[in-house]
Structure 1
């Protein structure tokens, strides 16, 4: 144990800014949600109407929580609990990979392993730090809820759910770090697990059974396959059910045991998922820096593209779900008819799904530009630059591949929508899908330019700040309008101002701002890169 204390102090010193930002952002979300709900949905009648609307369009449940009644506290947690859990999950996941696989890549783990601390000490120190950060975040969420005058029982359940989400994905990150050979691969695997389980919970809620008064939903079996689903089943301020958290904690314990077992079964700096050996001689197609950037990122493009293809197919293929549900529940049918007066309900569904596709494209953009930072930190960028490659051209290769990948990902989403429309026998939504896809491509491209600017100005914050920008702007786009925030706050999110279908046309008002930010941030990044030296220290 004494050998762990220096490691813990070192980790806390390295992470103090990042962890502080994650915790503050999450606690602010919990606080603003309560004040926003009170301001925007202060009456019981307003909350009942919104819950009825949500049940009428179950696709909304893919991106919200589990309706548990119209009481103000339960209603607030329905809106934000999955996102509090997601914030905790991302924080713990990235921490786990950064201090295990990341330190092995940088050589720190080998130095520590050569001391009396032992080879498993970094893993143990990471577990202790991540668990402590997750528990602290959960406690602060509970304290904020109590400070706002909410019931103690529900406040504790909400805080515990947030903490448990962090613990589960801390364990997921530790396992991913043992499996994958690089921190990039481990982060990608962890993010995919997170997104898949989040979507499984949302679909499980959307396919659930509504109550007769349309104020509550009983999830389908699919929600019970996801840690997010277990956390939502606690229903803070409604049922205050602690039992599902036991299952989530059990999963975290099992995964931690798996991580230790895998750690002991592999060599230092090795991964259990073998890397494919490269050819003895490079093909002529790798003779340029552009081809190298493509070669380094094509695998991740395939993964994000498949996700976008499925998202686009769901956007049009699930149009019948809303109609079918309306036929089964008369009250839902009436609400659908009321919603249709202001426009197409299915148009709104397209916009929601393409927001997800835009997030996937933005993730690819951040991941691709962040690869430049990884190449620089590992020293491989210096080898490329030694071949008389201009530093601006080198950075441009990653940015251009990121922009091309964004277009490809959104094009695959539109192709998926075409398949979904063909299967549903309704091609009327395909034009809306094209407009939404083009709009989200512009939004996602902004993240490539902004991340490149961060890389040039604050290289060591490239990965953390790049991913944080995606998550924070997504939260603004989803929650700022709901909580009655001023337009200028909402418009800080590229996802919120992206062009969307509107009636028989499109709302293009945000396109000018997106293109302006893209040009300014990209231009600044390339201009500043001319005077920037390589910074190999990770």
Structure 2
């Protein structure tokens, strides 16, 4: 009976070759990503729209834009973060500078997550083995995963170009800008395809790909901050800048990411044919027969699962904090040519002092990033459940509530660590530059930690979705994306206060520089605790798996 059932599938696979079923898998995975993919694309499009709108309305003359750009180019920290301004007298050139490298990196992150999700993660959960039992070729899942990532990157790049054109920016430069994002997405989709073959777990595959992305961004930053600008040719993020959108476009550079994608995809397919399903090229070392005393408990297990991720996030927060602290003193000079931009910074930061308003805005942004870590930490619990690893744990003396509390506790502690690292880094650098080290360190640390209750609300809401509707747990990213748009775009678009109040970050005291009030901090903390309690109750009552 088994032979009769499998024989038609084998004939179908031979008929279509190694790519049989790739189209069907692509349709299925696009449907599966109907929440995650639009959220990423919408966020990237909104980033472009808000940036172009800000520069077009914030500077009334080419001279003011040129003064701003010269201030950027004199600051090595700003060049390391965003790159040099290639066209310093138009809103198009400055907008391309502001979101070029950042948007390219975010597009790369999106592509890495999509490729690993539909390759290594599918193998890890055992679903790909079931799919492979049908009329599906050996290379079809990897091909469909790459096609999914390319579709997402192409859509984001197209919308970014369209938004620029709608705002009146030159069409050629707008198309080049979108293609620079697409090229970066292609490269890191290929990188993720390779790491998915090397690693045996999705966590390691993502970690390896993000390590390559971090190294690429670091190489570009070092090249732009120093005098050896040729080094940026070694970075795919540098290739995106070398396209020079809105600044004498260099179309031939786009051949580099295309070639890199072709080579990486070929390598990934070759590796896929040389390994067993479920195994990686890099075989993991066997662990000890018995767990160490430090691992005998749900809290230790949760820490073990999240410690690598937390370390990577901490390094990123440290670098960002050092960069923000180094430019805080000179932010007034950077935007001296535009009263409108100064007003926008004050509105978003909540104070009249430009440096404090800038730092308060930066703290709010880092709180959003800390919330991203919190969402990821909560979704790690969902991954343990969907991967079938939770049921064996609950079969021991560990109860549901204890297990969930351990995961939430490690996530909450991680958010505290991330924001503390940010506050200390900003305080040390800003204090050293302003000759007020003793005053700025506790001031900036407090400004960072006051963001925690709003972060905990996002984590609790995600936990509630996981507890009540586990299949929709990824909607936590949508909640975070809505708060991001309200906080970053709302003040610029002058949205009504009722809409702004929907975000917990609206109620956070605007520190440093603003007045501290205990009521909103206590209120947000109480909301987070109540929602987390509801999440635990919902998780305790529903079925597992």
TM-score by length of 2: 0.79
Superimposed CA distance per residue, residues 82-138 of structure 1 (whole angstroms, 9 cap, x where no aligned partner): 444344323322210111011101222223334553322211122223223322332
Distance of aligned partners of 1:60 and 1:440 in 2 relative to their CA distance in 1, 3 Å threshold: farther
Tell me the equivalent position of 1:19: 37
Tell me the equivalent position of 2:305: 296
Q: Does 1:142 align with 2:151?
A: no
CA distance in 2, matches of 1:471, 1:362: 10
Deviates more, 1:416-425 or 1:146-155: 416-425
SS in 1 for 2:278: coil
CA distance in 2, matches of 1:257, 1:429: 52
Q: Does 1:375 align with 2:384?
A: yes
CA distance in 2, matches of 1:40, 1:334: 11
Instruction: Measure how far apart 1:156 and its partner are.
Output: 1.4
Instruction: Name structure 2 gaps, 5 residues minimum.
Output: 1-18, 343-350
Tell me the equivalent position of 2:116: 97
Tell me the equivalent position of 2:27: 9
Instruction: Measure how far apart 1:469 and its partner are.
Output: 4.9
Q: Does 1:400 align with 2:400?
A: no
Tell me the equivalent position of 1:461: 472
1:73-222 aligned at under 5 Å gives the runs 73-115=92-134, 117-198=136-217, 200-202=219-221, 204-205=223-224, 207=225, 220-221=229-230
Distance of aligned partners of 1:502 and 1:6 in 2 relative to their CA distance in 1, 3 Å threshold: closer
Tell me the equivalent position of 1:242: 251
Distance of aligned partners of 1:500 and 1:274 in 2 relative to their CA distance in 1, 3 Å threshold: farther
Distance of aligned partners of 1:429 and 1:235 in 2 relative to their CA distance in 1, 3 Å threshold: farther
Q: Does 1:531 align with 2:529?
A: no
**Structure 1 contact 362–470 (Cα < 8 Å) conserved:** yes
CA distance in 2, matches of 1:442, 1:407: 10
Distance of aligned partners of 1:221 and 1:505 in 2 relative to their CA distance in 1, 3 Å threshold: farther
Corresponding residue to 1:387 among 373, 389, 396: 396
Superimposed CA distance per residue, residues 29-52 of structure 1 (whole angstroms, 9 cap, x where no aligned partner): 444544454444455465445445
Instruction: Measure how far apart 1:429 and its partner are.
Output: 3.2
Instruction: Measure how far apart 1:152 and its partner are.
Output: 2.1
Q: Does 1:431 align with 2:442?
A: yes
Superimposed CA distance per residue, residues 175-219 of structure 1 (whole angstroms, 9 cap, x where no aligned partner): 2212222223323433444455445545654x268xxxxxxxxx9
Tell me the equivalent position of 1:215: none
Distance of aligned partners of 1:489 and 1:286 in 2 relative to their CA distance in 1, 3 Å threshold: same
Query: Aligned Cα RMSD in Å?
Result: 4.1
Distance of aligned partners of 1:282 and 1:373 in 2 relative to their CA distance in 1, 3 Å threshold: same
Instruction: Measure how far apart 1:498 and its partner are.
Output: 4.9
**Structure 2 contact 371–480 (Cα < 8 Å) conserved:** yes
Superimposed CA distance per residue, residues 396-440 of structure 1 (whole angstroms, 9 cap, x where no aligned partner): 111111112222333444565677689988625323331233134
**Structure 2 contact 466–539 (Cα < 8 Å) conserved:** no
How many residue pairs match? The answer is 515
Instruction: Measure how far apart 1:509 and its partner are.
Output: 8.7
Instruction: Name structure 1 gaps, 5 residues minimum.
Output: 210-218
SS in 1 for 2:450: helix
Deviates more, 1:122-131 or 1:444-453: 444-453
